[in-house]
């Protein structure tokens, strides 16, 4: 019984925004891809170590049926004590830059409110998922419950069977070049999120041409 007690107590302690987030998952999954809301997102971090490094910025765009509304995009900058000078040359976020920065808790709150229970798309999604989960962990919350699609893996499915190489990792730059997506604002979180969204849509179009498109096909097992 101790376990149950621990469980219910813990649940009581959760802040409202986390409970609201969990509530979103009570509704049934929308079966029609054409009116499902997708969210493409990206994080800029101080490095690649899940425990040591921190998220400096989260960028996301959302879209329904091939239409991305600019005023529905998300762009968060986060105050962090961890700062690594060597990563600045990649993401360009200075420690004391003038952008409005949020605390990590404020940022994750805004992020959860934005993503709701919708489907998340990211390039090399495992990394971004882990970084977000680490934030949640630091604030005593559970893990992300959203479904994830990795654009790299999805792209691999669209490659003709003659050339397919399941092992090959594709960089976002490679995909953007291959699919003719304009590379602007590379290495800002929102810019990469937009590129990821377009890469996703273009890959989907390739798959759809061969009428493979259904949820089972889209979702990793």
CA distances for 178 relative to 81, 91, 183, 207, angstroms: 38, 23, 11, 15
> Which of 125, 117, 96 lies closest to 20 in space, CA to CA?
117
Q: Does 70 bind other proteins (CB under 8 A)?
A: yes
Q: Does 165 bind other proteins (CB under 8 A)?
A: no
Number of residues counted as binding other proteins (CB under 8 A): 33
Considering only residues 199 to 218 of the shown chain, the ones binding other proteins according to CB under 8 A are 201-202, 205-206, 208-211
Q: Does 194 bind other proteins (CB under 8 A)?
A: yes
Smallest distance from other proteins to CB 63, Å: 8
Smallest distance from other proteins to CB 10, Å: 34
Sign of torsion over alpha carbons 201, 206, 209, 215: negative
Bridge-based pairing state of the strands 55-64 and 74-77: antiparallel
How is residue 214 written in tokens?
């259904």
> Which of 148, 170, 171, 160 lies closest to 219 in space, CA to CA?
148
Q: Does 182 bind other proteins (CB under 8 A)?
A: yes
Q: Does 187 bind other proteins (CB under 8 A)?
A: no
Please, which contacts does 184-187 make with residues 24 or more away whose CB atoms are closer than 8 Å?
A: 187/44, 187/90, 187/91, 187/92
Span of 29-37, 62-70, 88-96, 126-134 interacting with other proteins by CB under 8 A: 62-70
Smallest distance from other proteins to CB 184, Å: 5
Considering only residues 80 to 109 of the shown chain, the ones binding other proteins according to CB under 8 A are 99-100
Smallest distance from other proteins to CB 70, Å: 5
């Amino acid at each position: 019984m101790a376990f149950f007690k621990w469980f219910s107590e813990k649940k009581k302690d959760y802040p409202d925004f986390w409970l609201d987030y969990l509530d979103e998952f009570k509704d049934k999954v929308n079966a029609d891809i054409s009116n499902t809301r997708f969210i493409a997102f990206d994080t800029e971090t101080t490095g690649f170590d899940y425990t040591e490094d921190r998220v400096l910025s989260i960028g996301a765009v959302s879209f329904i049926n091939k239409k991305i509304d600019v005023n529905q995009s998300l762009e968060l900058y986060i105050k962090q004590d961890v700062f690594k000078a060597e990563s600045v040359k990649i993401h360009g976020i200075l420690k004391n830059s003038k952008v409005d920065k949020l605390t990590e808790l404020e940022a994750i709150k805004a992020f959860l409110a934005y993503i709701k229970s919708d489907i998340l798309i990211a390039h090399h999604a495992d990394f971004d998922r882990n970084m977000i989960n680490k934030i949640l962990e630091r604030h005593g919350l559970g893990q992300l419950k959203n479904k994830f699609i990795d654009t790299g893996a999805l792209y691999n499915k669209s490659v003709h069977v003659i050339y397919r190489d399941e092992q090959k990792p594709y960089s976002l730059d490679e995909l953007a070049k291959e699919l003719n997506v304009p590379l602007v604002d590379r290495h800002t979180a929102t810019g990469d999120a937009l590129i990821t969204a377009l890469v996703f849509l273009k890959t989907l179009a390739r798959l759809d041409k061969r009428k493979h498109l259904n949820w089972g096909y889209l979702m990793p097992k």
